[in-house]
Amino acid sequence: MNVAEQEKLRGELLCNEPMSKHTSWRVGGLADSYYIPADLEDLQYFLSTLDASTPITWVGLGSNMLVRDGGIRGVVIAPLGGLKQLEIIEPGLVYAQCGLSSSRLAKFCQKNGLAGASYLAGIPGTIGGALAMNAGAFGHETWNLVEQVTMINRQGELIERNADEFETGYRKVQMPEDEWFVAAQFRLPETNNKEDMEIRHLLQKRNDSQPVGLPSCGSVFTNPPGGYAAKLIETAGLKGHCIGAACISEKHANFIISNEQTQASDIEELVAFIQKTVEQKFDVLLETEVRIVGERL
């Protein structure tokens, strides 16, 4: 990107940005470049200026991501705050951009008498992240509500796709290469019943069972078929086990807690140790839900 192109940007471009400032584990090395677009049109222009070989990594609230200590090469795009349009485009159909938090969408639907999105209040991430991983909670999944999505490619072009064009599963979505979610349309039934009590109940249930308020990424592993990752880890006797300054939560065994001394390598080593131990004891290989990106030191 040349000087003239940079001057046309309306967002914020940061160089050598510490990713520890942008992940819920509060660990991670430097990103070569970190871009916060002003809006969707600004993001389109920014992408159009990038060289085709530039690696691109997206980050929302950083709640489902482990950035290694060596940092991230290329560009990190952070739509949080910039891509935040949220509106009802027809009765029962909500348009939400990827930079919105999942909890904001849940509260918006509740306020406007739309049912079925209350579980999103307990997901600590953005709409973009929820779409990319089919995030869910309490038996619900994001893609059960999706009718249409807007994608963006490396050239900054927008592509509209229907939900049935995607293969989705438990915490998985097959995405076209070099396309990313920037918005979605959610279909929800209208209701006269307020969901405020349900949202509060779900949040209380989360707070009672999870180490809310401590640095973590949420659930580290997906649940294996017919079982629960937390139960396997706990039964293996690993609650409270630490490697370096990363520790398995005493409250919920599928959470890893960090502190000011934790390195990303501590967390990654602990993840591998959990997988090895559970596989040896129960012949079950736990798959990570968290996305591990970047380079090791």
| Domain definitions of the chain by residue range | 3-77, 86-187, 211-293
Cβ contact 132:216 at 8 Å: no
Quote the pLDDT of residue 3.
73
3-77 is classed CATH 3.90.700.10:
no
What is the value of pTM for the model shown? Answer: 0.91
Mean confidence (pLDDT) of the chain: 93
CATH number for 86-187 (one of 3.40.50.1780, 3.30.70.240, 3.30.465.10, 3.90.105.10): it is 3.30.465.10
DSSP state of 224: P
211-293 is classed CATH 1.10.10.10:
no
Q: Out of 17, 141, 195, 289, which one is annotated catalytic?
A: 289
Q: Out of 20, 141, 171, 268, which one is annotated catalytic?
A: 171
168: confidence class by pLDDT, cuts 50, 70, 90? very high
**Strand partners for 86:** 96
Q: Out of 24, 101, 219, 258, which one is annotated catalytic?
A: 219
**Strand partners for 143:** none
Kind and range of the H or E run holding 99: none
Query: For 177-234, what is each residue's pLDDT tens digit?
Result: 999 999 999 999 987 765 555 777 777 777 777 887 899 999 999 999 999 999 999 9
Strand order in the sheet with 30-36: 12-18, 30-36, 72-77, 56-58
Tell me the C-alpha distance between 55 and 25, whole Å.
23
11: confidence class by pLDDT, cuts 50, 70, 90? very high
**Is position 171 annotated as part of the catalytic site?**
yes
Q: Are strands 65-67 and 291-293 parallel, antiparallel or unpaired?
A: parallel
Query: For 83-141, what is each residue's pLDDT tens digit?
Result: 999 999 999 999 999 999 999 999 999 899 998 898 898 888 999 999 999 998 878 89
How many contiguous H segments (helices) and E segments (strands) does the chain have? 7, 18
Residue 173, pLDDT > 60, answer yes
